[in-house]
Structure 1
Amino acid sequence: MSDVAVVAGVSHQTVSRVLNDHPSVRPETRARVLDAIAALGYRRNLAARALVTRRTGSIGVITPGSALFGPTSTLVALERAARDAGRYVSVATLRSFGPDEVVPAVEHFLAQGVDGVVVVAPRTDTLAAVGSVRAPVPVVVISSAPEVDAGRSVSVDQAAGGEVATRHLLASGRRTVLHVAGPREWFDAQDRLRGWHAALTAAGVPVPPPVHAGWSAADGYEVGLRLVAEGLPDAVFAANDQLALGLLHAFRGAGVRVPDDVAVVGFDDEPGSAFAAPPLTTVRQGFDELGERAVAALVAALDGAPPGRELIAPELVVRGSAP
């Protein structure tokens, strides 16, 4: 930093202000310092900074070892948001979420000197394992589970997504909406089902028994074949896009017209949803905002902010499967 100050013709303190993005530095001075940094190839000594600030700038992330769209998109958004905030991410992907895996993962992070931990907790067993850990650093949980209300949590409002999908189908003139639900142990599946049920109840229409399935397109295809054989509903709200795509495939093979005979809405807005046949109406989750809010909550916790819960509103994306 002293070398940069000499080349730029400024004080050591001015270089420090530029590096910390302080607003009091004039634009021309900032540009001169940045040019000197580039010319000298200067890099911060993070180890030295950690000794002074007692913070490493790193965040530990615990996430399921899953290729499912939601957890994967959440992890990508977290890493990007942390990098934008000048922080680094260390990741632990777990095969299971018992204490025998969660506790060593947290200990591993603490040995690295992380400033805090973010846990992606989509399932009941995940949250139970996290609840058994007492870490000396802030922990932010990404989960819609009500059990984390007293802690620090960030989540997309899954129940609101279920409601908006169901209300859209009812507004198009459908008598009621069948729900193809995700696995019972997933909080997102529980909340989407709850939102669907609330919307039907509020509208005063019949509430058909939900059909529970997995998360895959193959699961949706099997449900679709069963519906063709047993009788089609007016409309289907599927708990994720993969289930919805499986339904569309089964309906198309049986000569069922979507949306004329049955309307279909999914959840997630996966990249391929717009190219389904017909293009899939779905509920979009704001994963970028989710990552940004989680990192911001962790930084706020480091600065002494009290615990709290943040919910992010989802967005309905209307396409051909349910116009």
Structure 2
Amino acid sequence: MIHRQRPSIYDVARQAGVSHMTVSRVLNGHANIRDATRARVLQVIDEMNYTPSPIARALATRRAHRIGVLVDAPDQYGPNSTLQAFESAARVAGYAISTFSVADDEGSPIDSGASELANQGVEALCVIAPRAKSLDLLRRQATGLPTVVIKSERDEQWHTIGVDQRAGAVKAVTHLIERGHTSIAHLAGPLDWFDSRERAEGWRQALKDHGIRPGAMVSGDWTSDFGYEFGRRFDIGETTAVFASNDQMALGLIHGLSERGLRVPHDLSIVGFDDLPDTRHFLPPLTTVRQDFAALGDLALQRIVSAIEHDGAPQHHTIEPLVVVRMSSSSPPTVRGGR
């Protein structure tokens, strides 16, 4: 039998026409690498199916090259997508991941998870904790590890990375205003969630910027079931549009309205948030706000690697979301000549 030798970092360097140190810097997410060089090295890594040996790296660098990830509410779309994106970015860079998940029905709080990961010898922590109560617990747990928190708001205690939730909400509501809507309600998420708070603030800000009084706001639980029940009982009155804080509630809302004989967008325009993979197949296809989770994962890894190497004062970075316009939003009925 012929056994193929596993490609080494030197093989990658030779094929890419760079030094092995350059390959190492690309794997570790260094910022001072030219984009063209980084792309060429990553292409060769992919073509050669190269995977860094964690044992060899640990012996050579006296570092574990392992990052701990704390995930609160892993069953929800946002935290789950963030985790997948971060794991993918870490894998490409040659880092191993240890994950500790916290769900509502589990007895292990997030601060216990931080201690457990620290005891496993991780070099840093990535915290995906969208709820305020989880971060309140974590603040009391001093691990001494470089920590990056996925959060759209700045925090004086940690490095923070996030999609700009408030900006996304402003863009969504502005889209409705530009189409003539002046009575826009908000179906918010749970107000213990940072993202839900920021989206609600973005809704208020966009209306205030255009001199429009806020419509009704109801706080939901992220589920399509809640959106459905809301759609069945919501007293529309003069409301011509609803900004839903996530796509699942928007889906339920459309269902609930349809059972009452109300059509979207003819009777009510709907805009969601997240751009779930299936939103283009909703009836009608949903206008929503897209979050770039791949970019979020890459940026989080870059910040963690930087923090491991020279941890300084907490920094904050955000990624701009994008409004994806589909068929669930149009001009209000009054503009088109009545319901």
Q: Same fold (TM over 0.5)?
A: yes
Please name the residue that 2:266 is paired with: 260
* Cα separation, 2, equivalents of 1:177 and 1:44: 52
2:109 aligns to what SS in structure 1?
helix
Q: Which AA in structure 1 matches 2:189?
A: G
Q: Which AA in structure 1 matches 2:279?
A: S
* Cα separation, 1, equivalents of 2:259 and 2:275: 23
Please name the residue that 2:121 is paired with: 113
- Identify if the C-alpha distance between structure 1 residues 19 and 179 changes in structure 2 by more than 3 Å, giving closer, same or farther: closer
State the Cα deviation string for residues 13-62 of structure 1 (Å, max 9, x = none).
x9954863789xxx9xx99xx9xxx8xx9986533532442311111100
State the Cα deviation string for residues 52-77 of structure 1 (Å, max 9, x = none).
42311111100024321111101100
Structure 2 gap segments, 5+ residues each = 27-32, 331-339
- Identify if the C-alpha distance between structure 1 residues 150 and 43 changes in structure 2 by more than 3 Å, giving closer, same or farther: closer
More helix by share: 1
**Alignment counterpart, residue 241 of structure 2, candidates 204, 225, 235:** 235
- Identify if the C-alpha distance between structure 1 residues 175 and 16 changes in structure 2 by more than 3 Å, giving closer, same or farther: closer
**Alignment counterpart, residue 24 of structure 2, candidates 17, 20, 39:** 20
Q: Which AA in structure 2 matches 1:176?
A: S
- Identify if the C-alpha distance between structure 1 residues 42 and 192 changes in structure 2 by more than 3 Å, giving closer, same or farther: closer
Q: How is 1:120-199 mapped onto 2 (pairs within 5 angstroms)?
A: 120-146=128-154, 148-199=155-206
Query: 1:144 offset after TM fit, Å?
Result: 2.4
> Scaled by the length of structure 1, what TM-score is found?
0.84
> Scaled by the length of structure 2, what TM-score is found?
0.81
State the Cα deviation string for residues 240-295 of structure 1 (Å, max 9, x = none).
00110011111222221211211000000001110011100000011111111111
2:310 aligns to what SS in structure 1?
coil
Query: 1:233 offset after TM fit, Å?
Result: 1.3
1:179 aligns to what SS in structure 2?
strand
Moved over 6 A (4+): none
* Residues 181 and 238 in structure 1, CA contact (< 8 A), matched pair in contact too: yes
2:328 aligns to what SS in structure 1?
coil
1:246 aligns to what SS in structure 2?
helix
* Cα separation, 2, equivalents of 1:43 and 1:225: 53
1:223 equivalenced with 2:227 (yes/no) = no
* Residues 220 and 246 in structure 1, CA contact (< 8 A), matched pair in contact too: yes
* Cα separation, 2, equivalents of 1:201 and 1:222: 29
1:247 equivalenced with 2:265 (yes/no) = no
Backbone CA RMSD of aligned residues:
3.3
Please name the residue that 1:53 is paired with: 61
* Cα separation, 2, equivalents of 1:150 and 1:110: 18
1:208 equivalenced with 2:182 (yes/no) = no
1:316 aligns to what SS in structure 2?
strand
* Residues 97 and 129 in structure 1, CA contact (< 8 A), matched pair in contact too: no
* Cα separation, 2, equivalents of 1:134 and 1:53: 26
Please name the residue that 1:86 is paired with: 94
1:300 aligns to what SS in structure 2?
helix
2:122 aligns to what SS in structure 1?
coil
Query: 1:226 offset after TM fit, Å?
Result: 1.4
State the Cα deviation string for residues 102-150 of structure 1 (Å, max 9, x = none).
333223222322111101010011111121121222011011244x245
* Cα separation, 1, equivalents of 2:53 and 2:319: 37
1:185 aligns to what SS in structure 2?
coil
Structure 1 gap segments, 5+ residues each = none
* Cα separation, 2, equivalents of 1:283 and 1:260: 21
